Amino acid sequence: MKTDKLFYRIFLNQPGLLAELLPGIPPDCQFDYSAPVIKEQEFRHDGILTPVENDPNLPLVFLEAQMQPDTDFYGRYFAEIYLYLKQYKIIRPWRGLLILKSRRHDLGSEIPYQYQLDNQVQRLYLQDLLHQNPLSPNLALLQLIILPKTKTVQAAQNLLESSKGQAEFRQKLDLVEAILVNKFPNLSLEEILKMLDLKTADITQTRFYRDVFQLGRQEGEQKGRQEGEQKGRLEGEQKGRLEGEQEGEAKLIIRQLKHRFGVMTPNQETQIRTLSVPMLEALGEVLLDFINPTDLDTWLSNQENLK
């Protein structure tokens, strides 16, 4: 999971975090997410959060995460914003939210953009969170991204224990899982959950676990056991796990596309379910760029032509 997708997941699942970081946005304001390309220069936004409510006074939020030094960053960021406002004829206000790793990173000269940086753009430096205590639950979640690995597990356990009720616990666990999978890429999800030492939690009910791993694996292993009766149990279960991985990935992609477009045709779902795991991963990388279902049809058609 790439960093931009991780922040996309966090902000959509914790809308209160956006209100906490950007004063003036209602805590219950819901946003939709997109990552459009600015065609004239082929600029690509990390993400734009658009208010779901039809209130012209609520701002667009240009969200960008930058974890490395980049002397062109500020120039590119503001160029992307103003080209987007022009190209899409935006008539509502806008705000900026920059998630940055360190104040020491050189992101280019601030002087030409000082007014915007002081008045319209909020910068959150993740390393600052290491020295702040206590933190709100939302900021504690972001702190997990930057904490030393030796302290991450205990902090994650503390965050989960602060949950009020099962619904909040599962929501936090879903995001904690996503952060730790991103932070510990060499560990399996099962190993990460073991690290968290969740003795009483039903981790199989979290969306992250169900969508990405468990559903596909269970169905795949069941299919593998059936085939194993004829071809050998070990061979069948191995094949089943591979098929389960493909099926679980396909289900996740379909769910994300339905979230973006509302509905999908049966033919689109069928085509996606037949894609290989590498092709599904490629689709997961580009689906945030799709503006409408026609873009999906074009992408699927191009993949068919490559076969």
Percent of the chain with pLDDT over 90: 27
- pLDDT computed for residue 249 by the predictor: 78
Residue with tokens 């992250």: 208
- pLDDT computed for residue 9 by the predictor: 74
pLDDT digits (tens, 9 = 90+) for 51-99: 888 888 999 999 999 999 999 999 999 999 998 899 889 999 999 999 9
Residue 262's φ and ψ, nearest 5 degrees, are: 90, -50
Average of per-residue pLDDT across 252-270:
79
Greatest Cα pair distance, the chain, in angstroms, is: 71
263/151: higher pLDDT: 151
Query: 225 pLDDT band (50/70/90 cuts)?
Result: low
- pLDDT computed for residue 212 by the predictor: 47
Q: What is the CA radius of gyration of the chain?
A: 21
Q: Is the dihedral of CA 75, 81, 82, 83 positive or negative?
A: positive
Query: 201 pLDDT band (50/70/90 cuts)?
Result: very low
Residue with tokens 């600015």: 38
Residues shown for the chain? 307
- pLDDT computed for residue 200 by the predictor: 42
Tell me which H or E stretch contains 199.
none
Average of per-residue pLDDT across 248-276:
81
Q: What is the 3-state secondary structure (H, E, C) of 258-294?
A: HHHHCCCCHHHHHHHHCCCHHHHHHHHHHHHHCCCHH
Alpha-carbon distances, residue 249 vs 151, 240, 306 (angstroms): 31, 14, 21
- pLDDT computed for residue 85 by the predictor: 92
pLDDT digits (tens, 9 = 90+) for 164-187: 887 888 888 888 888 888 888 787
Q: What rounded mean pLDDT belongs to the chain? A: 80
Q: Tell me if the pTM is above 0.85.
A: no
- pLDDT computed for residue 1 by the predictor: 40
Tell me which H or E stretch contains 60.
strand 60-66
Q: What are the structure tokens assigned to 21, written together?
A: 């970081």
Q: Are 169 and 163 in contact (CB under 8 A)?
A: yes
pLDDT digits (tens, 9 = 90+) for 9-61: 787 777 788 888 988 888 888 877 666 665 555 556 667 888 888 888 999 99
Query: 114 pLDDT band (50/70/90 cuts)?
Result: very high
- pLDDT computed for residue 202 by the predictor: 47
- pLDDT computed for residue 227 by the predictor: 60
